């Protein structure tokens, strides 16, 4: 059976031990997660020239998109200042690539799973805002997420999931066309489903952290791979 190809927009990094230069990376755990679920992950280079932003051409041969975690979105994109000292790894080229790719997937009906920063991108693209710095960070936090009506879109066959989190920002105002289907006990939006042409889901947690031991996380990625197989 042919594996559906899943595009992952790479993340710029200032250093990587195997390289002599700044790098472009995708988490090995994330790549292995996609592969274990039956997909074939491929990393794409972000850019801001016309060819780099021509997603119609660049996504030929891909059946799905995974928008991964990463640094902070520049807050001016959702109407706030960018002088908060907690902000890190902001990159305008990364933002432009993420935002145009997300809009393209929504408009053209390409299945997409958005993880952590990816969820924030999806929320801002649809008109939502973010908490720039949470009063209580969710870095190195594992907690329960209660799933509500509509969460069957995640592919998870339970009313809750144990989530491994690493973030200091969170959804503030929910974007247009997004339905919240998962919340933590302290009120953080943990999962959304988009009213879109194709399956589009965002989660605040990092499913790649625990998929090997948690069938719920594997169910989530298998749902993306299954939707990609149909596209």
Predicted confidence (pLDDT) per residue in 67-124, tens digit = 999 999 999 999 999 999 999 999 999 999 999 999 999 999 999 999 999 999 999 9
Q: How far apart are CA 29 and CA 133, in angstroms?
A: 26
Write the CA distances from 200 to 2, 65, 181, integer angstroms.
22, 10, 13
Q: How far apart are CA 231 and CA 227, in angstroms?
A: 7
Whether residue 156 is predicted with pLDDT greater than 80 in this model: the reply is yes
Whether residue 1 is predicted with pLDDT greater than 80 in this model: the reply is no
Q: How far apart are CA 162 and CA 179, in angstroms?
A: 20
220 Cβ neighbours under 8 A, 6+ residues apart: 113, 154, 155, 156, 201, 203, 207
- pLDDT the model gives residue 112: 98
The CATH number corresponding to 5-230 among 3.40.50.1110, 3.90.1150.170, 3.40.50.880, 1.10.1840.10 equals: 3.40.50.880
- pLDDT the model gives residue 21: 87
Tell me the per-residue pLDDT of 208-229, one tens digit each, with 9 for 90 and over.
Answer: 999 999 999 999 999 999 999 9
Tell me the per-residue pLDDT of 129-148, one tens digit each, with 9 for 90 and over.
Answer: 999 999 999 999 999 999 99
Q: How far apart are CA 33 and CA 51, in angstroms?
A: 29
Contact 224, 113 (CB under 8 A): yes
- pLDDT the model gives residue 136: 96
- pLDDT the model gives residue 231: 81
Q: What is the DSSP string of 183-213?
A: EETTS-EEEEEE-SSS-EEEESS-GGGTTTT
Name beta bridge partners: 202: 114, 192
């Amino acid at each position: 059976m042919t594996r559906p190809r899943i595009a992952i927009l790479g993340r710029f990094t200032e250093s990587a031990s195997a390289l002599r230069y700044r790098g472009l990376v995708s988490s090995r755990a994330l790549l292995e997660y996609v592969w274990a679920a039956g997909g074939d992950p491929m990393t794409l280079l972000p850019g801001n020239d016309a060819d780099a932003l021509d997603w119609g051409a660049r996504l030929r041969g891909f059946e799905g998109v995974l928008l991964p975690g990463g640094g902070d979105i520049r807050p001016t994109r959702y109407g706030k200042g960018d002088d908060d000292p907690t902000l890190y790894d902001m990159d305008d080229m990364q933002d432009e690539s993420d935002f145009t790719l997300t809009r393209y997937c929504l408009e053209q009906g390409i299945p997409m799973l958005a993880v952590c920063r990816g969820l924030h991108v999806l929320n801002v693209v649809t008109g939502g805002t973010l908490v720039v710095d949470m009063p209580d960070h969710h870095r190195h936090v594992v907690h329960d997420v209660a799933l509500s009506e509509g969460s069957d879109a995640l592919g998870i066959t339970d009313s809750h999931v144990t989530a491994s989190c690493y973030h200091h920002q969170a959804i503030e105002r929910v974007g247009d066309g997004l339905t919240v289907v998962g919340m933590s006990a302290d009120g953080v939006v943990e999962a959304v489903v988009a009213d879109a042409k194709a399956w589009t889901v965002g989660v605040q947690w990092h499913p790649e952290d625990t998929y090997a031991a948690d069938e719920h996380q594997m169910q989530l990625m298998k749902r993306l791979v299954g939707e990609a197989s149909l596209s």
